[in-house]
Amino acid sequence: METNHHHPPGPHGLPWLGVTFELVKNPLGLLERMGHEYGAISEMRYWRGGRILLNSPELIEQVLVVQHQKFIKGVLLRLTAQRLLGQGLLTSEGELWRRQRRLAQPAFQRARIAAYAPVMVRLAAEQAEEWRPGERRDIAVEMMNISLRVAIRTLFGLEMKSEARAVGEALTAIMRRDLRRLRSPLKLPPTFPTPANRRAENGYALLEGMVSRIIEEKRSDGGGSDDLLSRLIEATDEEGVHMSARQLRDETMTLLLAGHETTALSLAWTWYLLAQNPEAEARLHDEIDRTLSGRLPTADDLDRMPYLAAVINESLRLYPPAYTIGRSSVEPIDLCGYHFPRDTVFLMSTWVTQRDARYFDDPLAFRPERWLEGPAPEGFRYFPFGGGPRRCIGQPFALMEAGLVIATLTARFRFRLIRKVVPEPLVTLRPRDGIPMVVEERR
């Protein structure tokens, strides 16, 4: 194909500012509109420059897999997550990333993860003990509570009182403030004492305090434990040197946040979807009741509940917690007939592609059956966990946790929706103002 040096098509917006206003006000709507109107490749221009949206499985595969050496993580993740995650597994590059991924990988093998199943079930059941039929709960917070305790117990080997509400609020404040600063040309210094800045700075302090406490507790428990954090503390490089305190802090923060927030969101969105789709909910109840006959689920039970797996897949299709994945080119690249210089930023949006009628029939309908009727969708029309060498290390962990938590809670409860929920696209796809629901006992 002949290389075209012009820009891909895209929304015009204003001179210099481009689509800045729309990006600040309605980023999901903007991405959707671009995918819908321009198809496989389009460009948005805003005050920081251009961003290329790729909305075709073949192009996404080129960037994440085939030509992955030509890219590093996107500027959005680097700028928003640098202070929080530093050089942790999600954000580091090159040799450092390779080494840390090798160290962490054994903790995510199937057999290891199956051993976490009883903890996942116990912590979900414990959380539900607090619920009274008829009461109103923010299901997003309840799910954060479960997944935060699961992550701390399984990855760090600690039992800590859950601080999920505070952690959730800290993350929201940080993401809201930092993303707004990134998307908007008008900004005050982060230390200027506005309420938004104060909330974000308090959020950073809370998370730093929590990570320091986790590392301190771990160091003082005498070593010899077999959890991921102990292994990272004990690991040495070829010269026998331990990880620096800074690196350990970065990995702990990364695992703490990546290990609980996305899974909690996918659980919360799943309850939200089930509450609006009573037929799917009834079919799920039936499968879980028949399989478990009133006992608690195990890892092996998950293989016997295909509809449950389909519900989770379908929820990750419609409400993918990682709603965009970004990459920056480190060398010039030709894609789809266009020539892009180095430092071009590419966005691949699970939200856009997984809701595109070219790739899924009746794309906005919640229909778990689609996962049981035909072969699984091929290639990068569905990629909630990314792809290529940087694909999510925690995918089996997240899928097992989601399945076990849903099976444990469904055995006793269902949740009724009180009001419509608006997704808020921060670094992850969060429900603005939570998901308040009424807890009902099933029997």
* Contact residues for ligand HEM, defined by CB under 6 A: 73, 89-90, 101, 254-255, 258-259, 262-263, 266, 321-322, 325, 384-386, 390, 392-394, 397-398
Dist CA 383 CA 316 (whole Å): 9
Residues 6+ apart with CB under 8 A from 99: 237
- Least Å from the CB of residue 149 to ligand HEM: 13
Closest residue by beta carbon to ligand HEM: 394
Residues 6+ apart with CB under 8 A from 129: none
Contact between 179 and 80 under an 8 Å Cβ cutoff? The reply is yes
Q: Identify which of residues 190 and 388 has a Cβ nearer to ligand HEM in the complex.
A: 388
- Least Å from the CB of residue 290 to ligand HEM: 26
The SS3 of residue 333 is strand
Contact between 80 and 86 under an 8 Å Cβ cutoff? The reply is no
Q: Identify which of residues 19 and 85 has a Cβ nearer to ligand HEM in the complex.
A: 85
DSSP-derived letter for residue 14 is B
- Least Å from the CB of residue 422 to ligand HEM: 20
- Least Å from the CB of residue 255 to ligand HEM: 6
Q: Identify which of residues 42 and 350 has a Cβ nearer to ligand HEM in the complex.
A: 350
- Least Å from the CB of residue 171 to ligand HEM: 15
Cα–Cα distances in angstroms (integers) from residue 372 to residues 130, 279, 283, 353, in the given order: 35, 16, 13, 20
Dist CA 142 CA 165 (whole Å): 9
- Least Å from the CB of residue 347 to ligand HEM: 11
DSSP string of 218-229, one letter each residue? HHHTTS---SHH
Dist CA 430 CA 426 (whole Å): 7
Q: Are strands 49-54 and 345-348 parallel, antiparallel or unpaired?
A: parallel
Q: Which residues of 25-61 are buried (b: 16+ CB within 10 A; e: fewer)?
A: eebbebbbbbbeebebbbbbbbbbeebbbbbbbebbb
Q: Identify which of residues 45 and 317 has a Cβ nearer to ligand HEM in the complex.
A: 317
The SS3 of residue 66 is helix
Q: Identify which of residues 162 and 262 has a Cβ nearer to ligand HEM in the complex.
A: 262
- Least Å from the CB of residue 257 to ligand HEM: 9
- Least Å from the CB of residue 89 to ligand HEM: 4
Q: Identify which of residues 12 and 98 has a Cβ nearer to ligand HEM in the complex.
A: 98
Q: For the chain, give percent helix, strand, coil, nearest 5.
A: 55, 15, 35
- Least Å from the CB of residue 392 to ligand HEM: 3
Q: Identify which of residues 30 and 60 has a Cβ nearer to ligand HEM in the complex.
A: 60
Q: Identify which of residues 79 and 438 has a Cβ nearer to ligand HEM in the complex.
A: 79
Q: Identify which of residues 89 and 139 has a Cβ nearer to ligand HEM in the complex.
A: 89
Dist CA 138 CA 398 (whole Å): 21
